Amino acid sequence: MSNFQAVIFDLDGTLINSVPDIANACNAALSARNHPLHNYEEYKQLIGKGLRNLCERALPINMQNEEEIEVCHEILMNYYLEHPCDETEVYEGIPQVLEKLHAAGLKLAVLSNKADVLTALIIEKLGLSKYFTIVSGLRKEFPRKPDPTSALWILSELSRAAGQEIAPEKVLYIGDSGVDMQTANNSGFYALGVTWGFRSEEEIRENGAKSIIHERSEIVKIALG
């Protein structure tokens, strides 16, 4: 019998490598406003708390005002919506993992701090929609991760789809950042950190990972027991 009834995945750095497209979109906004640009490695440290927050962190300190952030965010969103998957790739082995979990009857979901419209668009374009009961990005009605509100809403939707209540301890939450580990623990889920993403193993460990894995295939072993 499976250890878990549901699995919730972070998106960026967990299921997909999206750094190039996020970086290109943000750099397009910075360039349009004559601000210095950042390289891909720098963006790995800036990503994770939503695209508006990304704009704020990417701007020069003396330009981090509400007006400039809003202008850059709008440019970024317009660019990203036109180029959501130019260079984004699903991590090798992830489709096979999703197939096995789905076939085993687990309820699967995605929870991202990326804008909801972009999260759904990218999952669709990459051919992953068929595996997930719920795909949710950052929505106006919910605070962003690590606040547990959106994660617990997803749990209620997965329970409805399953026809029975799924207890929080029966949810495996998988992510690559400290924010993800905090989200899992704040929600009462099992926090599983992955090291192939954007953040360090140290960050994941310090923020409460119950386990840390280095290979995609290990997801199946933990999820199915």
Using alpha carbons only, what angle is made at residue 136 by residues 131 and 137, rounded to the nearest 5 degrees?
Answer: 130
Confirm whether 10 is a catalytic residue: yes
The kind and range of the H/E element at 90 are strand 89-90
Tokens of 120: 């759904």
What pLDDT is recorded for position 225?
87
Q: Has residue 97 got a pLDDT over 90?
A: yes
What does the pLDDT look like over 50-96, one tens digit per residue? 899 999 999 999 999 999 999 999 999 999 999 999 999 999 999 99
Mean pLDDT of 9-21: 97
What pLDDT is recorded for position 2?
67
- Identity (one letter) of the amino acid at 22? I
The DSSP annotation for 127-186 comes to T-GGG-SEEEEE-TTSPPTTSSHHHHHHHHHHHHHHTSPPPGGGEEEEESSHHHHHHHHH
Q: Is the pTM of this model over 0.75?
A: yes
Sorted by where each starts, the structural domains of the chain and their CATH numbers stand as 6-17+89-224 (3.40.50.1000), 19-82 (1.10.150.240)
Q: Which residues of 92-116 are buried (b: 16+ CB within 10 A; e: fewer)?
A: eebbebbeebbeeebbbbbbbbbbb
